[in-house]
Amino acid sequence: MTGKKFVFLLLFVFCTPYTVPAELVDRSVAIVNNDIITLSEVNELGQPLFQKAASEVPPEQLEEVMDQIRTSVIQKLIDKKLLLQEAGKMQITISEPEVDNALQRILLNNKITREQFVEELKTIGMTEPLYREDLKGQILRSKLVNYEVRSKVIIPEEKIIDYYDLHYTEQVGEGGYYILQIGTSRNATDASGKKLSQEKSKEKIAKVHGLAQHGGNFKELARQYSDLPSAKDGGDIGIFQVKEMAPFMRNAIIGLKPGQISKIVETPSGYQFFSILSSQEGQIITKVPYESVKEEIREKLYQQEMQLLYKNWIEGIRDKAYLKIL
């Protein structure tokens, strides 16, 4: 399992300090209403970050960086204490079976065994009990967010349409066509590096054309089979007005309706065929149909709104709380 993947797996885990001398007496570092945050809690949560800084930061900057990390960890612990206090008021609890189920989903989603998971935890200086405790906090936070925030998020249709107009349409003075292309080049080679004959090139484009006509995803086909530079963008070459098109393109494009596949045409460099996402003689060209991205936009706006409401909610709790950094 890669480092990046494991970072994602850890979700909100903020990690745990460089080795603290055994003789150091534990003490309080912050007060959160009737609770305290101890130095040992800060050390435990921040240890991987402290260790990383100790191994990477120049000595002359180390003290400043350590203070920044310590401050950040304390603020995260304050938020955690506030969430636990709110959960207590609402009598929200998390059972061990709930934590077990959440951990099992993480293992399944990341396709790893329990043993692999434990080994990965060791590489970042974290124990399974500490991870389970953090996971328990995540579940608690989710329940609180569901109760206090999520039910209040409403995304009206007008906001979805506004987002769509801003990001999925384009103003075109004289109308135009939003075009996708797939093509083979006369200089294309096969898997062994041998140059394709004209006949083989024709066979290749005919095969892909057939797949497109029978409902294949045009963009995926372009990425997989096209020899043109646009392949990496799924064949997307953007908007063209009629007067900007080469004759072979214009002859293939004119008359197509969005989603239709053109005939195969011979070009100076090989063979191509096209599809259009939209065409309009008026002022606005749509890059993709509204219905195909409506729910994606709704989810994006929902997440943005929820993050904002959560930020405001936790700040409101902070404002009402008695907080003191010692």
The residue ranking higher by pLDDT, 271 or 26, is 271
Q: Are 134 and 183 part of one and the same domain?
A: no
Provide mean pLDDT across the span 255-271: 88
Closest CA to 160 of 298, 33, 62: 298
Please give the mean pLDDT across all residues of the chain: 81
Q: In the chain, how many domains are there?
A: 2
Whether residues 9 and 131 share a domain: the answer is yes
19 and 109 inside one domain: yes
> Any idea which of 31-35, 256-260, 287-291 has the lowest mean pLDDT?
287-291
Show the domain range for 67.
3-148
In a domain, 304, yes or no: no
| Residue 262 falls inside a structural domain | yes
Among candidate residues 77, 85, 64, 66, the one with its CA nearest the CA of residue 29: 77
Phi, psi values for residue 271, rounded to 5°: -135, 145
In a domain, 190, yes or no: yes
Does residue 164 lie within any of the structural domains?
no
Q: In the prediction, which pLDDT does 212 show? A: 92
Residues 93 and 143 in one domain: yes
Task: Specify the pLDDT at position 19.
Answer: 42
Mean pLDDT of all residues in 129-145: 83
pLDDT tens, position by position, 9-42: 334 333 333 444 444 567 899 999 999 999 988 9
**Is 158 inside any structural domain?**
no
CATH number of the domain encompassing residue 10? 1.10.4030.10
Q: In this predicted structure, what is the pLDDT of residue 70?
A: 92
Same domain flag for 69 and 27: yes
CA–CA distance from 173 to each of 177, 239, 280, 303, 313 (Å)? 12, 12, 11, 35, 45
128 shares its domain with 185: no
| CATH number (domain holding residue 228) | 3.10.50.40
Whether residue 98 has pLDDT greater than 70: yes
Based on the domain organization, do 22 and 127 belong to the same domain? Answer: yes
66 found inside a domain: yes
Residue 267, in any domain of the structure: yes
d(CA 150, CA 140): 14
Is 177:279 a contact under the CB 8 Å cutoff?
Answer: yes
Q: Are residues 139 and 175 in the same domain?
A: no
- Asked if residue 235 and residue 129 are part of one domain, the reply reads no
Identify whether 317 is part of a domain: no
Q: Are residues 128 and 25 in the same domain?
A: yes
Helix boundaries (H) for 23-181: 39-56, 59-89, 96-109, 114-123, 128-148, 157-167
Quickly tell me which residue has 């180390």 as its tokens. 62
Q: Are residues 124 and 189 located together in one domain of the fold?
A: no
Specify the pLDDT at position 190: 66
Q: Are residues 236 and 125 in the same domain?
A: no
Express each pLDDT in 299-316 by its tens digit: 899 888 888 888 888 888
What pLDDT score does 297 carry?
92
Q: What is the pLDDT of residue 134?
A: 82
Rounded (10°) angle between helices 218-225 and 198-213:
160
Side-chain half-sphere exposure of 18, counting CA atoms within 13 A:
14
Instruction: Say what percent of the chain tops pLDDT 70.
Output: 86
Closest CA to 274 of 302, 291, 254, 301: 254
- Round to whole Å and give the CA distance between 182 and 275: 9
